[in-house]
Amino acid sequence: MRTKIIFLLTVAVLLTVLLMQNNQEAKFNILFFSDVAVSKLSVLLVVTIASFLAGIVIARPNKRRTVETDSEDDEDDEHPNTKSNTLSDEDRDYLH
């Protein structure tokens, strides 16, 4: 198995154990509401799901990709993705 799958399975097992051990009710003071008695299990589950979804949204690849067309200057043939006046020759040499 790949290490990523092993890591995810380990995290899932540890999360399940953590959730099952914390099933008592606890009082939470949520914003303007007075003490709300909620199961720790449900709070941990909601926070876990929200964190997972936030991670997916943050880590997803950017779907907007700009396509640069070749300009009239043909002097930049070896660097088609950069504009000719953006980088100096020294910077180009450093990057390659």
Does the pTM surpass 0.85? The reply is no
Q: Which residues of 31-68 are buried (b: 16+ CB within 10 A; e: fewer)?
A: eeeeeeeeebbeeeeeeeeeeeeeeeeeeeeeeeeeee
pLDDT at 9 over 50: yes
Burial, 75: exposed, middle or buried (Cβ in 10 Å; 0-12, 13-18, 19+)?
exposed
Q: What is the pLDDT of residue 82?
A: 47
Burial, 83: exposed, middle or buried (Cβ in 10 Å; 0-12, 13-18, 19+)?
exposed
pLDDT tens digits, 24-73: 888 888 777 778 888 888 888 888 899 989 988 888 877 666 666 555 55
Choose between 77 and 31: higher pLDDT: 31
